[in-house]
Structure 1
């Protein structure tokens, strides 16, 4: 993984999480803004998938367990989709809080993927 891209992903995920939690606790239902912030995190994760596929061929293979990294990456890509589906099916303030929790969970997963990629097993 590329450190600067990981930092960008972390900043966006934490900002999205805090934003959605703030909206949810203020009583706002899911909107284009809250769902869009999580969609931006998802877009960055898709770029991460492409990077994870290309990086080993460019001389940057994972130093940790590639299977563990792959499971984290697939889970991280699926998590926002599930959160958005939930938010759109149950349009309440708590759905917006769930979007925030998903984004903050993704921040932790992104950091863990960075650790797996750069730390020898």
Structure 2
């Protein structure tokens, strides 16, 4: 993982999460902005996944448990997709809130993945 990229990813996920939660509690149904912000979080996760696959080969191995890291990564990749799927099926304000909670959960998961990769010793 790249230190600065993970913190940019956390910031984007927090902003997207807050935007979606506020939009949901304001009564807005899922729209291009809420779905797009969640899609941006997903795209950043895909980039992070590719980086995590390549990084050990170029001299940046994880310091923590590799299995735990990749379980977090796969779960994080599935979470926004599930939230968007829910938002497309249930077009209510609560599905917008679910998108926000999904993005906030991604921020926490990326922070934890960053800890596992960079600082945690086995």
**What's the secondary structure of 1:60's corresponding residue?**
coil
**Rounded Cα–Cα distance in structure 1 between residues aligned with 2:54 and 2:6:** 16
TM-score by structure 2 length?
Answer: 0.98
Secondary structure of the corresponding residue to residue 63 of structure 1: coil
Matched, 1:73 2:73: yes
Q: Could you say what secondary structure the match of 2:61 adopts?
A: coil
**Aligned CA-pair RMSD:** 0.5
SS at match of 2:30: coil
Segments of structure 2 that go 5 or more residues without pairing to the other structure are none
In 1, Cα distance between equivalents of 2:58 and 2:32: 37
Q: How many residues align?
A: 121
CA distance in 2: counterparts of 1:7 and 1:111, whole angstroms: 8
Question: Normalising by structure 1, what TM-score?
Answer: 0.99
1:120 to 2:121 alignment:
yes
Corresponding residue for residue 13 of structure 1: 13
Instruction: List, as ranges, runs of 4+ consecutive aligned residues in structure 1 with deviation greater than 6 Å.
Output: none
Secondary structure at 2:28's aligned position in 1?
A: coil
CA distance in 2, matches of 1:108, 1:49: 16
Q: For 1:14-53, what aligned pairs fall within 5 Å after superposition?
A: 14-53=14-53
- Tell me the CA shift for residue 120 of structure 1: 1.1
How far, CA to CA, are the matches of 2:98 and 2:83 in structure 1?
Answer: 7
Partner of 1:105: 105
Offset of residue 54 of structure 1: 0.5
| Other structure's SS at 2:121 match | coil
Deviation at 1:38, TM superposition (A): 0.4
